[in-house]
Amino acid sequence: MSKLLIIHTGGTIAMEEDKDSGAVSPGKNNPLNTTLNQLLTGDDVLIDDFINIPSPHMTPEMMFAIAERIETKIKEEPIRGIVITHGTDTLEETAYLLDLVLQTDLPVVVTGAMRSSNELGSDGPYNLLSSIKVASCQEAKGKGVLVVLNDEIHTAKNVTKTHTSNVSTFQSPQYGPIGIVTKQRVFFHHTLTVRDRYHISGLTKKVMLLKAYAGMDSKLLIAVAELGIDGIVIEALGQGNLPPDMMDGIKHLRAKGIAIVMVSRCFNGIVQDVYGYKGGGKHLKEQGVIFSNGLNGQKARLKLLVTLEATEDDSELHNFFLR
């Protein structure tokens, strides 16, 4: 009999609020396991208390370790689906990195909560139940890593946290959810046309993320070039433009062979090489800057970490970021 694999990593969904101080923090025992005992039989679920950390403590190396753990578990025994519980601050990053590197087509669902387990209106148990429904659903196979909260199903590629505290914080700008969860069943109404994934053995590169602002110059770019980085992602202005005083820094990075990926600090639209002035998109493209196809900064950083393991060829990297 196949089992549902539940991997706990911590986060608010596994925390409790101290009624005296109001502080929310991890406890000795994960309250989600009590919930799971009420929802599933012991023969039906495999619970893996992998780590119990706040999501700001999550690293790409830990994310990759989760992927390795999943691949190992599904080789050891029959698994029909995977649910990962996670803190919301970096949930979208873990989901996206898993989407890039996992080779399985089994349903993989990442979920979390905005309210801790003992707060009034806690959303954790309900999100967990919804995620179990999706991970057990045949239609979820082959759709990549999914993020399920607040009755909605989102792709790891497009979802992002949009509000600091609201329970409907996870949205997919431009695209919306690809499905919904009801009391009776799971409904998918569209899906991504391409699954973008890479077979790598680890994460060894260093990639930084910077955000452009009006009047920015080259000082930060020249400084980070001396830190031994392999790549940098810049959240640019508008459609992919930078202040002109940044161009010396861009040329300095490229002369050192450092890959530069451009995204927009806007959360809708994609970057394009439209403008021909100094610092404009066409000027940046001529310098070998890679334009991403709609990813936000934090996800573009993860993709560059992954793709640099696969190749350091500029033309291949350009093609990877068009997907």
Q: For the whole model, what pTM was predicted?
A: 0.95
pLDDT value at residue 42: 63
- Alpha carbons 62 and 255: distance in angstroms, whole number: 32
Those residues with Cβ within 8 angstroms of residue 156's Cβ, 6 or more apart along the chain or in another chain: 92, 95, 96, 98, 99, 110, 144, 145, 146, 147
Tens of pLDDT along the chain (323 residues) come to: 799 999 999 999 999 888 888 888 887 778 787 777 777 766 689 999 999 999 999 999 999 999 999 999 999 999 999 999 999 999 999 999 999 999 999 999 999 999 998 888 899 999 999 999 999 999 999 999 999 999 999 999 999 999 999 999 999 999 999 999 999 999 999 999 888 999 999 999 999 999 999 999 999 999 999 999 999 999 999 999 999 999 999 999 999 999 999 999 999 999 999 999 999 999 999 999 999 999 999 999 999 999 999 999 999 999 999 99
Active site (catalytic) residues: 12
Widest distance between CA atoms in the chain: 64
pLDDT value at residue 36: 78
pLDDT value at residue 296: 97
> Taking a C-beta distance cutoff of 8 angstroms, is the pair 257, 234 a contact?
no
- Alpha carbons 26 and 13: distance in angstroms, whole number: 9
How many helices (H) does the chain have, and how many strands (E)?
9, 16
| One-letter identity of residue 162 | T
pLDDT value at residue 40: 72
